[in-house]
């Protein structure tokens, strides 16, 4: 019995450390300060709890081995013990001590993670010291606005590694929750108020994970809750600055092909929908957020996924435009469109050419 | 042996059950009603696990999946676990305290029928097309956004069944305070009675917030009020607070009576009195009290601020202390005992390690900064299934086996019981242990599917296999019940041979008036004391006299039916959010309410004094009624 338990314990310890999880998704392979601290807290509490389990199981096994009713003892009446003050005090006091012990890192880290004063800090020139991102969650897509840089992007959050990034979080329709598991714990995006927290991306760990982290919506928000994924591109500060400059140019790239030009026309004007009325194609979008009804498509050509979770291929873009309801039921774009194959081809070509940099 | 062998027609039996106010028969009703919904919730669980068998399976649509887990959670908590506990409480608690019935037999029946009609109303959502789809928590922004009438079935159904629960809770409180036999002081009450008492007081305080918030939600959706509509100045966070001020105590409402059942089983089959009885009582009260102090730990990521998170984190962890006291007391009850492994005892033995795992993961989630990672992932799904299946469902299965003879006079097959236990126990751990890791690997809960390539395939597959083992186990248990009922081998008063509390001094099942003479209680484990002194039954506290009994009545069914009808009128009223108001709605609403309140009026005006069983008849009655004579 004991050997079994030891075996199970070792097996699962091995599971935890090596992990079946993926480095871009697993909380057990932290790639940032917040997740790292939370992981350490996990290991600490897990070890303490493993000891608790061990104590209980030890007593349990002894009891089961020693005190089972044996043949010939059927009529034996055991001594009726009322209790023991000494024992009661022991198993009240020790848990209290354990909990006081656990409370210290708990309270400390609660305040540590909750400290968002850095958000307002400025340098000598009066420029903000830290990058701030406004996250707005929608059914079923994410908007990332960089208020101090004047740019907006959607679905793919781009961040510099090695520094604290502060987030303002809110939802525009129903409650969602912003979560990048391997970078740090989640925070809800409420419809009522603005939530704030920070994350940090570790440069080396980011490289190891391929510089792309998976983000998820962690609060039930409707039929497509499972598909409300986003990606985080964690790149070096230099690369990030170059990306920001390119985004700030605020003009669409030269369209190389005839097909793309036709796509642009369709995008702006077609018989069925007016794509442009919801989707901006440049990163500077001065309209108020209530009118930004669809994801910003600037730099769409560099996206990692279509609709947040499908592989980035032309075929998927075409399918998505034609049958969004099949891929994200309950989405607010439209149920399905009736574009001809050429039109779809042109639209996809146009969208794929929306790149602010190569 | 029972002398009543007269055959009665099906109609007569049905009428008997519709009109009964006998706590033992109401226990049967709760058992079958709750059991039915338990099977329904179980089927929903299996369908959920089929959908998650492999990535992007497409077994059901995302919309259906959301309805499925919403109904699974709602059904299991409100319509299965609680009624099944009420079944055992009803069957046992009056006997344990030496009472002839609960304090308000009429309300007992009303409580059941309200629950039943509420549950049926909620499940009609499946038949009429829109099941609730916002989770059992039904967070306000999503539940207002939800299309169709699904959420209306939720609000109306839960309000009706919630009345029933509240009524039953009050009934048990009054019963336990007022109806104890002479000598049955509070500190001599069996643990199941104690935990029922505390759970009932939790119901008294926890259900009103739920009723109020569901009422708000219903008005938002049906009468265009704006309690939770942010654009009109409402607030959705208020719903979260309300819901969890109810929702957290709710899990203690479930687990405390389960603790009670295990306390009885462990001490019975260890042949020892409960170790540290008074500290067990104290721990129960403390858990109940702290249960109201920790609701915001469900909202650590909502953004309540550092101070709130820190306070609620520490308060949450504090609950581990009284729970730990209980675990060690159970272990020490067995220590030095003479442990007989029976099916109920097996469940108790399975419960201890399972619940400890669920408990320690609870502490881990109480650590607020760690919970930011664990919240709303499969880790929490694993955690609450470890406490609710490993705690409550194990207790229900154990209790069903343990009290079956007292409820029906027959013993469930021990052999089939072992098979059920082994399959269920292995299946349970297979299903839920891996889910801790799925959560840690980054799988959010309530996702209709998952994508391949994220390292989640294997874990989900294992989990689904386990679920099916649990399903098979339950089928075997049903077979067991059928076989046992068909065989109909009656057993004596104390079929487990080591019964300690008063119910085991009575016939199995007890005669309709329970005790011929109210017993006299001389200490903890009344029946055990009498047995040890060589007595065959209990000591009477009064001379044999007439017994006052309540009359059967159909009124509770009619009162509940009225609300059931009114709910349809409410749902289709012309102001409803869905916009499919019907002209018949208001008349139906009025008719329904008239039925309910009219019946209540008749009940108030018409005096029903019940009847007396004359002394002479009792003297000639072969039933012993628990008294040694």
CATH code, domain with A291: 2.60.40.420
Specify whether the CB–CB gap between B430 and B470 falls below 8 A. Answer: no
Q: What percentage of chain A reaches a pLDDT higher than 70?
A: 95
| A75 inside domain | no
Quick one: A3 and A126 in the same domain?
yes
Overall average pLDDT of the B98-118 stretch: 96
Quick one: A182 and A271 in the same domain?
no
b/e per residue B278-317 (b: at least 16 CB within 10 A): ebbbebbbbbbebbebbbbbbbbbbbbebebbbbbbbbbb
Is pLDDT above 60 for B477? yes
Is pLDDT above 70 for A37? yes
| Helix (H), strand (E) at residue B43 | helix B23-51
Overall average pLDDT of the B162-168 stretch: 96
| A124 inside domain | yes
Exposed, middle or buried by CB within 10 Å (0-12, 13-18, 19+), for B613? middle
Provide the shortest C-alpha distance from residue A47 to chain B (in Å). 11
Return the bridge partners of A212, or none: A233
A69: nearest CB among B338, B449, B532 = B338
Overall average pLDDT of the A285-314 stretch: 92
Overall average pLDDT of the B470-484 stretch: 97
**Model pLDDT for residues B345-377, shown as the tens digit of each residue:** 999 999 999 999 999 999 999 999 999 999 999
Overall average pLDDT of the B451-478 stretch: 94
Chain B residue numbers with beta carbons less than 8 Å from the beta carbon of A186 are 301, 372-373, 375-376
**3-state SS class at B613:** strand
Is pLDDT above 60 for B2? no
Is pLDDT above 70 for A40? yes
> In degrees rounded to 5, what are phi and psi of residue B56?
45, 55
A54–B contact, CB cutoff 8 A = no
Choosing among A77, A82, A183, A220, which should be mutated to test the B contact, i.e. which has the most B CBs within 10 A? A220
B471–A contact, CB cutoff 8 A = no
Overall average pLDDT of the B184-192 stretch: 96
Chain B residue numbers with beta carbons less than 8 Å from the beta carbon of A191 are 141, 230, 236
Across chain B, what does the average pLDDT equal? 94
Structure tokens at B600: 């209540």
SS (H, E, C) chain A: CHHHHHHHHHHHHHHHHHCCCCCCCCCCCCCCHHHHHHHHHHHHHHHHHHHHHHHHHHHHHHHHHHCECCCCCCCCCCCCCCCCHHHHHHHHHHHHHHHHHHHHHHHHHHHHHCCCHHHHCECCCCCECCEEEEEEEECCEEEEEECCCCEEEECEEEEECCCEEEEEEEECCCCEEEEECCCEEEEEECCCCCEEEEEECCHHHHHHCCCEEEEEECCCCCHHHHHCCEEEEEECHHHHHHHHHHHHCCCCCCCCCHHHHHHHHHHHCCCCCCHHHCCCCCCCCCCCHHHCCCCCCCCHHHCCEECCCEECCHHHHHHHHHCHHHHCCCCCCCCCCCCCHHHHHHHHHHHHCCCCCC
Is pLDDT above 90 for B172? yes
d(CA B167, CA B165): 5
Structure tokens at B72: 């699974």
Quick one: A46 and A192 in the same domain?
yes
A16 band by pLDDT with thresholds 50, 70 and 90: low
Specify whether the CB–CB gap between B412 and B484 falls below 8 A. Answer: yes
| A105 inside domain | no
Write down all domains in chain B, each with its CATH number in brackets.
10-187+354-553+608-620 (1.20.210.10)
Overall average pLDDT of the A299-319 stretch: 93
Domains in chain A: how many in total?
2
Q: Give the angle B150-B154-B155 at the CA atoms, nearest 5°.
A: 120
Specify whether the CB–CB gap between B382 and B445 falls below 8 A. Answer: no
B289-292, long-range: CB < 8 A, 24+ apart: B290/B315, B290/B318, B290/B319, B290/B322, B291/B202, B291/B248, B291/B249, B291/B251, B291/B252, B291/B319, B292/B202, B292/B205, B292/B206, B292/B245, B292/B248, B292/B249
Give the per-residue pLDDT at A286. Answer: 86
- Nearest Cα residue to A336 out of A318, A309, A311: A318
- Nearest Cα residue to A225 out of A171, A190, A177, A156: A177
Overall average pLDDT of the A182-202 stretch: 95
Quick one: A306 and A178 in the same domain?
no
d(CA A345, CA A327): 19
| A186 inside domain | yes
**3-state SS class at B319:** coil
Give the per-residue pLDDT at B129. Answer: 79
Give the per-residue pLDDT at A228. Answer: 95
Specify whether the CB–CB gap between B344 and B380 falls below 8 A. Answer: no
d(CA B319, CA B359): 10
Q: Is the Cβ pair B306, A114 closer than 8 Å?
A: yes
Is pLDDT above 90 for A115? yes
Give the per-residue pLDDT at B1. Answer: 35
**Model pLDDT for residues B492-540, shown as the tens digit of each residue:** 999 999 999 999 999 999 999 999 999 999 999 999 999 999 988 899 9
Quick one: A205 and A266 in the same domain?
no
B3 band by pLDDT with thresholds 50, 70 and 90: very low
Overall average pLDDT of the B239-247 stretch: 96
**3-state SS class at B346:** helix
Here the ipTM equals 0.93
B331: nearest CB among A60, A214, A329 = A60
Q: Scanning every residue of chain B, which has its alpha carbon at the shortest distance from the alpha carbon of A78?
A: B337
d(CA A136, CA B476): 51
| Range(s) of the domain holding residue A343 | 258-352
Quote the DSSP letter at residue B612. Answer: E
Quick one: A65 and A209 in the same domain?
yes
> In degrees rounded to 5, what are phi and psi of residue B28?
-60, -45
| A241 inside domain | no
- What is the total residue count of chain B? 629
A73 band by pLDDT with thresholds 50, 70 and 90: confident
d(CA B368, CA B363): 10
Is pLDDT above 70 for B628? no
Return the bridge partners of B372, or none: none
Q: Which residue has the tokens 């030890």?
A: A58
Give the per-residue pLDDT at A154. Answer: 94
Quote the DSSP letter at residue B8. Answer: -
Interface A-B: count of C-beta contacts within 8 A: 290
| A358 inside domain | no
Non-local CB neighbours of B308 within 8 Å, separated by 6+ positions? B296
Residues 243 through 272 of chain A touching chain B, CB cutoff 8 Å: none
d(CA A263, CA B23): 74
- Of B545 and A7, the structure prediction assigns the larger pLDDT to B545
A122 band by pLDDT with thresholds 50, 70 and 90: confident
Non-local CB neighbours of A264 within 8 Å, separated by 6+ positions? A252, A255, A350
If one counts every other C-beta atom within 10 angstroms of the C-beta of residue A43, the result is: 13
Quick one: A286 and A169 in the same domain?
no
Q: Is the Cβ pair A87, B332 closer than 8 Å?
A: yes
Give the per-residue pLDDT at A3. Answer: 63
Is pLDDT above 90 for A19? no
Per DSSP, the residues of B224-258 read ---SS-GGGT--HHHHHHHHHHHHHHHHHHHHHHH
**Model pLDDT for residues B10-40, shown as the tens digit of each residue:** 899 999 999 999 999 999 999 999 999 999 9
Specify whether the CB–CB gap between B114 and B82 falls below 8 A. Answer: no
B199 band by pLDDT with thresholds 50, 70 and 90: very high
Task: Please tell me chain B's helix, strand, coil percentages from 3-state DSSP, rounded to the nearest 5.
Answer: 70, 5, 30
Structure tokens at A165: 């990034």
Q: What percentage of chain B reaches a pLDDT higher than 90?
A: 92
SS (H, E, C) B141-152: HHHHHCCCCHHH
Strand order in the sheet with A156-160: A156-160, A230-235, A212-217, A176-180, A184-189
| A236 inside domain | no
Quick one: A226 and A262 in the same domain?
no
Q: Is the Cβ pair B314, A83 closer than 8 Å?
A: no
Structure tokens at B523: 């200490």
Give the per-residue pLDDT at B626. Answer: 72
d(CA B103, CA B175): 5
- Nearest Cα residue to B133 out of B113, B119, B148, B111: B148
Give the per-residue pLDDT at B5. Answer: 47
Question: What is the distance in angstroms between the CA of the first residue and the CA of the last residue of chain B?
Answer: 17
**3-state SS class at B547:** strand
**Model pLDDT for residues A195-222, shown as the tens digit of each residue:** 999 999 999 999 999 999 999 999 999 9
Overall average pLDDT of the B601-628 stretch: 86
Pairing of the two strands A156-160 and A230-235: parallel
d(CA A143, CA A58): 53
Quick one: A211 and A263 in the same domain?
no
Quick one: A182 and A132 in the same domain?
yes
A53–B contact, CB cutoff 8 A = yes
| A240 inside domain | no
Q: Is the Cβ pair A67, B338 closer than 8 Å?
A: yes
Quick one: A62 and A124 in the same domain?
yes
d(CA B153, CA B172): 28
Give the per-residue pLDDT at A14. Answer: 60
Is pLDDT above 50 for B86? yes
Give the per-residue pLDDT at B51. Answer: 96
Q: Is the Cβ pair A329, B336 closer than 8 Å?
A: no
d(CA B601, CA B606): 8
Across chain A, what does the average pLDDT equal? 91
Overall average pLDDT of the A125-146 stretch: 93
B339: nearest CB among A15, A68, A110 = A68
Quick one: A133 and A7 in the same domain?
yes
Q: Is the Cβ pair A106, B376 closer than 8 Å?
A: no
Is pLDDT above 70 for A9? no
Choosing among A12, A167, A197, A219, which should be mutated to test the B contact, i.e. which has the most B CBs within 10 A? A219
């Amino acid at each position: 019995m004991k050997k079994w338990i030891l075996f199970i314990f070792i097996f699962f310890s091995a599971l935890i450390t090596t992990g079946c999880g993926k480095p871009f998704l697993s909380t057990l392979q932290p790639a940032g300060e917040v997740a790292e601290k939370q992981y350490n807290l996990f290991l600490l509490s897990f070890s303490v709890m493993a000891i608790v389990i061990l104590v209980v199981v030890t007593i349990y096994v002894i009891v089961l081995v020693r005190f089972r009713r044996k043949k010939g003892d059927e009529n034996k009446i055991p001594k009726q013990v009322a209790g023991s003050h000494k024992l009661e005090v022991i198993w009240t006091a020790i848990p209290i001590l354990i909990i006081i012990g656990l409370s210290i890192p708990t309270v400390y880290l609660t305040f540590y993670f909750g400290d968002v004063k850095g958000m307002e800090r400025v340098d000598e020139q009066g420029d903000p010291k830290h990058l701030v991102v406004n996250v707005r969650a929608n059914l079923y897509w994410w908007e990332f606005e960089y208020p101090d840089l004047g740019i907006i992007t959607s679905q793919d959050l781009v961040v510099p590694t090695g520094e604290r990034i502060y987030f303002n979080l809110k939802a525009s329709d129903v409650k969602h929750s912003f979560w990048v598991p391997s970078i740090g714990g989640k925070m809800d995006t409420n419809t009522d108020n603005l939530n704030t927290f920070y994350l940090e991306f570790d440069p080396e760990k980011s490289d190891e994970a391929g510089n792309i982290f998976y983000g998820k919506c962690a609060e039930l928000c409707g039929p497509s809750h499972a598909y409300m994924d986003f990606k985080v591109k964690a790149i070096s500060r230099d690369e990030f600055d170059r990306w920001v400059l390119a985004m700030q140019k605020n003009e669409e790239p030269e369209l190389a092909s005839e097909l793309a030009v036709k796509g642009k026309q369709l995008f702006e004007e077609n018989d069925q929908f007016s794509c442009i009325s919801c989707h901006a194609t440049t990163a500077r979008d001065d309209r108020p957020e209530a009118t930004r009804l669809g994801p910003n498509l600037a730099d769409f050509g560099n996206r990692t996924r279509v609709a947040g979770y499908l592989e980035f291929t032309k075929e998927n873009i075409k399918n998505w435009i034609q049958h969004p309801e099949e891929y994200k039921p309950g989405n607010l774009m439209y149920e399905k469109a009736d574009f001809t194959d050429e039109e779809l081809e042109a639209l996809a070509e146009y969208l794929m050419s929306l790149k602010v940099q190569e | 042996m029972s002398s009543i062998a007269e055959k009665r027609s099906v109609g007569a039996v049905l009428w008997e059950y519709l009109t009964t106010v006998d706590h033992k028969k109401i226990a049967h009703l709760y058992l079958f009603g709750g059991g039915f919904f338990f099977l329904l919730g179980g089927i929903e669980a299996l369908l959920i696990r089929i959908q998650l068998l492999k990535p992007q399976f497409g077994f059901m649509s995302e919309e259906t999946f959301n309805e499925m887990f919403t109904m699974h959670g709602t059904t299991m908590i409100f319509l299965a676990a609680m009624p099944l506990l009420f079944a055992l409480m009803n069957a046992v608690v009056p006997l344990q305290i030496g009472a002839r019935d609960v304090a308000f037999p009429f309300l007992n029946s009303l409580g059941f029928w309200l629950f039943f009609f509420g549950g049926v109303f909620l499940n009609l959502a499946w038949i009429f097309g829109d099941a609730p789809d916002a989770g059992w928590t039904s967070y306000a922004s999503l539940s207002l956004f939800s299309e169709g009438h699904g959420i209306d079935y939720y609000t109306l159904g839960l309000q009706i069944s919630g009345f029933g629960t509240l009524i039953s809770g009050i009934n048990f409180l009054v019963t336990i305070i007022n109806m104890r036999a002479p000598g049955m002081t509070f500190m001599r009450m069996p643990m199941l009675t104690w935990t029922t008492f505390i759970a009932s007081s939790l119901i008294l305080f926890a259900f009103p917030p739920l009723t109020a918030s569901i009422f708000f939600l219903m008005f938002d959706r049906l009468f265009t009020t704006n309690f939770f509509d942010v654009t009109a100045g409402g607030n959705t966070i208020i719903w979260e607070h309300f819901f969890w001020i109810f929702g957290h105590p709710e899990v203690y409402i479930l687990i405390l009576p389960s603790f009670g059942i295990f306390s009885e089983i462990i001490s019975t089959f260890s042949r020892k009195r409960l170790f540290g009885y008074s500290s067990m009582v104290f721990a129960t009260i403390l858990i109940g009290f702290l249960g109201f102090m920790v609701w915001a730990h469900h909202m650590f990521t909502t953004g309540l601020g550092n101070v709130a998170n820190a306070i609620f984190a520490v308060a949450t962890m504090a609950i581990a202390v009284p729970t730990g006291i209980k675990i060690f007391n159970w272990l020490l009850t067995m220590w030095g005992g003479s442990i007989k492994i029976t099916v109920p005892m097996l469940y108790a033995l399975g419960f201890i390690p399972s619940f400890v795992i669920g408990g320690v993961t609870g502490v881990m989630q109480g650590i607020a900064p760690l919970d930011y990672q664990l919240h709303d992932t499969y880790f929490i799904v694993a955690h609450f299934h470890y406490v609710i299946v490993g705690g409550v469902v194990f207790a229900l299965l154990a209790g069903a086996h343990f009290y079956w003879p007292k409820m029906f006079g027959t013993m469930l097959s021990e052999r089939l019981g072992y098979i059920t236990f082994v399959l269920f126990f292995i299946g349970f751990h297979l299903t839920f242990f891996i889910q801790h890791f799925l959560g840690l690997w980054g799988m959010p809960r309530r996702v209709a599917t998952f994508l391949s390539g994220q390292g989640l395939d294997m874990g989900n597959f294992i989990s689904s296999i386990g679920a099916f083992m649990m399903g098979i186990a339950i089928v075997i248990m049903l077979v067991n019940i059928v076989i046992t009922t068909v065989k109909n081998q009656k057993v004596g008063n104390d079929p487990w041979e080591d019964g300690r509390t008063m119910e085991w001094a009575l016939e199995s099942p007890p005669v309709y008036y329970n005790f011929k003479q109210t017993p006299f209680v001389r200490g903890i484990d009344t029946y055990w004391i009498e047995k040890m002194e060589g007595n065959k039954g209990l000591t009477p506290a009064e001379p044999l006299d007439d017994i006052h009994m309540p009359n059967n009545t159909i009124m509770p069914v009619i009162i509940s039916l009225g609300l059931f009808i009114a709910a349809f009128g409410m749902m289709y009223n012309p102001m409803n959010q869905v916009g499919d108001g019907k002209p018949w709605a208001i008349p139906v609403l009025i008719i329904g309410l008239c039925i309910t309140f009219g019946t209540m009026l008749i009940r108030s005006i018409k005096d029903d004094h019940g009847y007396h069983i004359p002394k002479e008849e009792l003297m000639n009655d072969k039933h012993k009624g628990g008294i040694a004579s």
